[in-house]
Chains A and B, each alone.
Chain A
């Protein structure tokens, strides 16, 4: 496969300062994600998983080290390019779904295409295709309130993949789901993976991380391959 990494972290760290107290949430992280990889990061809460995820997802900036996304050093990019990368190259799935309750499933999926350069005409077909991909075509006109938790998370996944991102970043995607729904979401991840999508899943559930090809551990802000 293409050897050029999609994401490369070189000694990335993140310090938070609140008043006089300084907390080092992430220390000296080294990481390479290649296109098509399925990677999971596990660790107890407070270990810095989310900090790492937010930096990789360009929602936050590291305080030290170098982060390259598709070869570009992201700290050298303007805020406009960073948001642009989020709109075009990165798909997000959150623990709490973040669907807009007043809009239909299709409208929720379309939301992810509002901020990129896709021609507006393509939005609806793409949303339909994404919903079909996650097996929810029959729910296209429902409002999220009438869907089960597993279905809602699949809508969120459809929203994330509709833009055709390079990587899908998932933050505790099964944290709010029962075991049956968890299973269906994980099956979907496997399918997406076999379609060639790069997946990064952060979780504290060993059952979820077990499905990934590669698992990294976070502990006290340190990222390590499990022994």
Chain B
């Protein structure tokens, strides 16, 4: 006799409306409840975003400089001891012949044995006019290989080297100390008793920054005056993508007898670098984000449970009005899921904001997988769902009789 037409039902739309109403009757509390999820999601999104941004930044930097730089030295490094081979004087030509090399240059520090450098003598009793300035002997190609820029004048060429001309290029720092600002009248500086005509002033370099604080002379000149034995370093500027190939070929080119005797500094593959950086950043901060998300979940569970106990009367009423246990459980489950979801939305927004702010401060380009921002609210919802399981179960187990007695509302 009692037919299916009396079966209780609860439309999905009504369920959603009831859960939303539950959320928005106490918006302040819902917001506070969501705070844990907000923080957790925000830190996760920010972590992933910043890691990605920084990774992309590193790759960009490597593309420009390090990814195209290969350095060969015969120095044995910090613990190295004696050098095993001398780099040949024609290293520059040998390297430049390799396919993929844009520019190459050799350099070596010259032992000045305490000689001081000065500009044209001016008798200024108070001013310091003589300085201890390191001297670097360089090949003509070094300017291009170190991506240097002259602010005035010119770099020396192989003719200067062959003739052992007394010419020099001043690094920017040295030029300032010696008060040499222009070279059109061929100023002269003295190193010990030897005079050098200043050909140019080196404004900036992107590699081998010690050049900026040195007086740079042709190799031929250094050989003749200071008995320089050999270059110590070859700086190579390669085409993009050629660095790893050149780093295997260059030792053979400069030291065919014993390629292993020279040291090669070559860039890591960009993908490796990015992966390394992201992994480092991620592991730590993802853990932090995970912990705060867990704390957030506990918070949601707690408040939802309190809310269940507070709304005993409402639960009883709904049961009396024909809500099944399932309906009650769904309602509370959906409420906590909603809290988590909105927490996720707010958290994701905050996280993106953090990434953008950090990028703005560091003048980086913010890079972020859009899927992270979109998945964050879903993760928040999931956290809310899990957090609501126990409170919803409790709510659904309440006997309507008892809840109606207890709740005065």
Interface residues of A (CB under 8 A from B): 50, 54, 57, 59-60, 69-72, 77, 79-81, 83-89, 92, 94, 96-103, 111-112, 114-117, 120, 159
Q: A81-B7, A84-B6, A98-B407 are in contact. Are A70 and B316 (CB under 8 A)?
A: no
Q: Across the interface, which residues of A come within 8 angstroms of B323, CB to CB?
A: 83, 87, 114-115
Closest Cβ–Cβ distance, residue B388 to chain A (whole Å): 20
* Inter-subunit contact B322/A116 (CB<8 Å): yes
Q: Across the interface, which residues of A come within 8 angstroms of B324, CB to CB?
A: 79-80, 83
* Inter-subunit contact A77/B9 (CB<8 Å): no
Of B6, B11, B325, which contacts A81 at CB under 8 A?
A: B6
With A and B bound together, what is the CA distance between A115 and B325 in angstroms? 12
* Inter-subunit contact A117/B5 (CB<8 Å): yes
* Inter-subunit contact B320/A111 (CB<8 Å): no
Closest 7 CB pairs of A and B: A87-B322, A115-B322, A102-B25, A83-B8, A84-B8, A84-B6, A84-B7
Contact with A along B1-32 (1 / 0, CB 8 A): 11001111111011000100100010000000
A-B contact count (CB 8 A): 107
Q: Mostly helix, strand, loop or mixed at chain B's interface?
A: helix
Closest Cβ–Cβ distance, residue B218 to chain A (whole Å): 88
B344 at the interface (CB under 8 A from A): no
Q: A59-B401, A94-B404 are in contact. Are A85 and B2 (CB under 8 A)?
A: yes
Q: Across the interface, which residues of A come within 8 angstroms of B2, CB to CB?
A: 69-70, 72, 77, 81, 85
* Inter-subunit contact A98/B404 (CB<8 Å): yes
Q: Across the interface, which residues of B come within 8 angstroms of A117, CB to CB?
A: 5-7, 9
Closest Cβ–Cβ distance, residue B319 to chain A (whole Å): 7
Q: Across the interface, which residues of A come within 8 angstroms of B18, CB to CB?
A: 114
Question: Which residue in chain A gives the minimum CB-CB distance to B316?
Answer: A98
Q: Across the interface, which residues of B come within 8 angstroms of A83, CB to CB?
A: 8, 319, 322-324
Q: Which of B315-353 contact A (CB under 8 A)?
A: 316-325, 327
Closest Cβ–Cβ distance, residue A81 to chain B (whole Å): 6
Question: Which residue in chain A gives the minimum CB-CB distance to B404?
Answer: A94
5 more contacts with CB within 8 A, not counting A80-B7, A96-B407, A96-B408, are A57-B320, A83-B319, A86-B8, A115-B321, A120-B14
* Inter-subunit contact B8/A87 (CB<8 Å): yes
B130 at the interface (CB under 8 A from A): no
Interface residues of B (CB under 8 A from A): 1-2, 5-11, 13-14, 18, 21, 25, 313-314, 316-325, 327, 399-401, 404, 407-409
Q: Across the interface, which residues of B come within 8 angstroms of A86, CB to CB?
A: 8, 319-322
* Inter-subunit contact B21/A96 (CB<8 Å): no
Closest Cβ–Cβ distance, residue A180 to chain B (whole Å): 22
Question: Can you offer 14 A-B residue contacts whose CB atoms are under 8 A?
Answer: A54-B401, A59-B319, A59-B320, A59-B399, A70-B2, A79-B325, A81-B2, A84-B8, A86-B320, A98-B313, A98-B314, A98-B404, A98-B409, A114-B321
Which interface residue of B8, B316, B319 has the most chain A CB atoms within 10 A?
A: B8
Q: Across the interface, which residues of A come within 8 angstroms of B409, CB to CB?
A: 96-101
Which interface residue of A69, A89, A98 has the most chain B CB atoms within 10 A?
A: A98
With A and B bound together, what is the CA distance between A141 and B116 in angstroms? 96
* Inter-subunit contact A70/B1 (CB<8 Å): yes
* Inter-subunit contact A114/B21 (CB<8 Å): no
Closest Cβ–Cβ distance, residue A12 to chain B (whole Å): 16
* Inter-subunit contact B5/A92 (CB<8 Å): no
* Inter-subunit contact B9/A116 (CB<8 Å): yes
* Inter-subunit contact A115/B25 (CB<8 Å): no
* Inter-subunit contact A115/B8 (CB<8 Å): yes
Q: A70-B1, A70-B2, A85-B2 are in contact. Are A112 and B401 (CB under 8 A)?
A: no
Question: Which residue in chain A gives the minimum CB-CB distance to B26?
Answer: A102
* Inter-subunit contact B314/A92 (CB<8 Å): no
With A and B bound together, what is the CA distance between A103 and B8 in angstroms? 23
With A and B bound together, what is the CA distance between A87 and B321 in angstroms? 5
* Inter-subunit contact A98/B317 (CB<8 Å): yes
Q: Across the interface, which residues of B come within 8 angstroms of A92, CB to CB?
A: 320-321
* Inter-subunit contact A120/B401 (CB<8 Å): no
With A and B bound together, what is the CA distance between A68 and B294 in angstroms? 51
Q: Across the interface, which residues of A come within 8 angstroms of B319, CB to CB?
A: 59, 83, 86
Closest Cβ–Cβ distance, residue B1 to chain A (whole Å): 5
Q: Across the interface, which residues of B come within 8 angstroms of A87, CB to CB?
A: 6, 8, 321-323
With A and B bound together, what is the CA distance between A180 and B9 in angstroms? 39
Q: Across the interface, which residues of B come within 8 angstroms of A120, CB to CB?
A: 11, 13-14
Question: Which residue in chain B gives the minimum CB-CB distance to A110?
Answer: B14
Question: Which residue in chain B gives the minimum CB-CB distance to A114?
Answer: B14
Question: Which residue in chain A gives the minimum CB-CB distance to B5?
Answer: A117
Q: Across the interface, which residues of B come within 8 angstroms of A115, CB to CB?
A: 8-10, 318, 321-323, 327
Q: Across the interface, which residues of B come within 8 angstroms of A101, CB to CB?
A: 409
With A and B bound together, what is the CA distance between A96 and B401 in angstroms? 13
With A and B bound together, what is the CA distance between A59 and B9 in angstroms? 17
* Inter-subunit contact A112/B321 (CB<8 Å): yes
Q: Across the interface, which residues of A come within 8 angstroms of B316, CB to CB?
A: 98
Q: Across the interface, which residues of B come within 8 angstroms of A114, CB to CB?
A: 10-11, 14, 18, 321, 323
* Inter-subunit contact B322/A84 (CB<8 Å): yes
Q: A87-B322, A114-B14, A115-B323 are in contact. Are A59 and B21 (CB under 8 A)?
A: no
Closest Cβ–Cβ distance, residue B33 to chain A (whole Å): 17
Q: Across the interface, which residues of B come within 8 angstroms of A69, CB to CB?
A: 2
Closest Cβ–Cβ distance, residue B375 to chain A (whole Å): 33
